[in-house]
Structure 1
Amino acid sequence: MSIETLFSSNVIVPIVVAFIGFLVAVTTAVIAKEHKISEFRQKWIDDIRSDLAIALQSSYDCLYELHNPSTLESVEKYNAFHRELEFRCNLIILKLNPKKDAAFIELIRTLLKELLIVSQDSTELNMQSCQQTASQFQKMSHVLLKEEWERVKKGEKHFLIFRNFGELCLFAFVTAFLIVLLASKFTEYFLTT
């Protein structure tokens, strides 16, 4: 059977065209979905980055006000900063995965507890412990943001699997096409008498 006979039939060409159309449609849909998920994830990263920055600044503001003499104005400022810190920490905790980010959530709760302890007993030891916790909060914030950015850069796990599967299918399709092409020409090259 020659290649011209194979592709001139009314069966093979429509099947190949339909298969290619199907692959293009599915690939386009998956890419569009992945793009939309990346947009949502980038918005989430921007929101949590803002919450983390405000929470960190509020924690340092609380510590600064606790260093000052206990004037009524200082106490009012501390209370305002602490309310903002609690609000931002609650937002952050709600945005995090309770299982994957359990250590970070525990650190946030520890920071809030230590600030309350310092507000009641502002010894140097308590202040240093709270400052170290705030510093650890900052470091873990960087780690969280870096992990999420890497995830946006690489793509979601399902998309990566689909892309790798698609590459495999494309390779198999091209290989099968070349085998059919060579098989149809095989008789012309080797079996001529």
Structure 2
Amino acid sequence: MEFPSKELWTAIGTVIAATVAAGVTFLTATLSKDAKISDFRLAWMDTVRAEIAEISSRCLHIQASSKRLRAQGTAEPQIHIEFAEDMLSIKRNIAMLRMRLDPNKHQSVIYLLTKVDNKEWSERTLQTGSTDLLTEFQEEGRILLFTEWQRVKKGEGAYRIFRPLSKYMFLFLLIALGIMATVAISEVISLWN
């Protein structure tokens, strides 16, 4: 049996090496892009968490402080003036959070965000039930963040595809290497005989 020439084996080896290098480069670039997307998702989650916490804490602060001011005999117009800056901050945070949310995916959070936005947190008549609204808003936010965290843990699309495929690619390369080694060893043995 006559084996192909050394030059042919060299050419085949070069083509295989170039193909493997191109595949590794493509895989690395794709996974790097997906890792960057995951980083952006984590940053988005941190920002959403901070916005929800800021809105909730300011609402609770206004609610508790206005109750205290009323007990001290402060007039209602003065209470509204007292918390104008806080109310503006809440409106700003709500607007920022609204822009971060997808109206198709985050409808429950947007619905509660609208309810929080429409509430006058310093009003006397709204003292009851307001804490429940904030608790519900925080819980929906927690669910949203947990869902996104699960998505980040699974990885982006290319990662979910390439991870199992990489095992098969590695196995294929080992088999190919084994075949090439077997052919090379049999050639060396035939030369000894």
Normalised TM-score (structure 1): 0.75
Which structure exhibits the higher relative contact order, with contacts defined as CA atoms closer than 8 Å and separated by 6 or more residues?
2
Alpha-carbon deviation of 1:78? 3.1
Please give the per-residue CA displacement for 1:108-165, whole angstroms capped at 9, x wherever unaligned. 111222x23873x61xxx4332221101111122222222233333322333123333
CA distance in 2, matches of 1:3, 1:22: 28
**Alignment partner, residue 127 of structure 2:** 127
- How far off its partner does 1:45 sit? 2.1
Q: 1:22 & 1:3 partners in 2: Cα distance?
A: 28
Aligned residue identity for 1:37: I
Q: CA deviation at 1:8?
A: 6.4
5+ unaligned residues in a row in structure 2: which ranges? 187-193
Q: What's the RMSD between the two structures over aligned residues?
A: 3.4
* Distance apart, 1:3 and its partner CA: 8.6
Quote the offset at 1:105 in angstroms: 0.5
Shift of 1:7: 9.4
* Secondary structure of the structure 1 residue equivalent to 2:120: helix
Partner deviation per Cα, 1:81-121 (whole Å, 9 max, x = no partner): 222112111111110111111111001111222x23873x6
Residue of structure 2 in register with 1:116 after alignment:
120
More divergent stretch after superposition (147-156 vs 18-27): 147-156
| Alpha-carbon displacement from aligned partner over 1:46-92 (angstroms, at most 9, x marks no partner) | 22222111111112123224424153442223332222112111111
How do 1:1-193 and structure 2 match up within 5 A? 9-68=9-68, 69=70, 71=75, 72-113=77-118, 115-116=119-120, 119=123, 122=125, 126-175=126-175, 178=178
CA distance in 2, matches of 1:33, 1:178: 33
Q: What residue identity is the alignment partner of 1:137? A: F
Range with greater deviation from structure 2 (97-106 or 176-185): 176-185
- Could you tell me how far apart the structure 2 residues matched to 1:144 and 1:25 are? 35
The amino acid across from 1:55 in the alignment is I
Aligned AA (2:60):
Y
Alignment check: 8 A CA contact 2:80 2:122 kept? no
Give the AA of the match of 2:107: A
The verdict on how the C-alpha distance between 1:117 and 1:53 changes in structure 2, with shifts beyond 3 A counting, is closer
Deviations 1:30-54 (A, max 9, x none): 2321232233222222222221111
Partner of 1:190: none
Q: TM-score, normalised by structure 2?
A: 0.75
- State the alpha-carbon separation in 1 of the partners of residues 57 and 38 from structure 2: 28
Q: Which moved more, 1:176-185 or 1:7-16?
A: 176-185
Task: Give yes or no for contact 2:30–2:158 (8 Å, CA) kept in 1.
Answer: no
Deviation, structure 1 residue 181: 6.4
Name the counterpart of 2:191: none
Inter-partner Cα distance in structure 1 for 2:121 and 2:86:
15
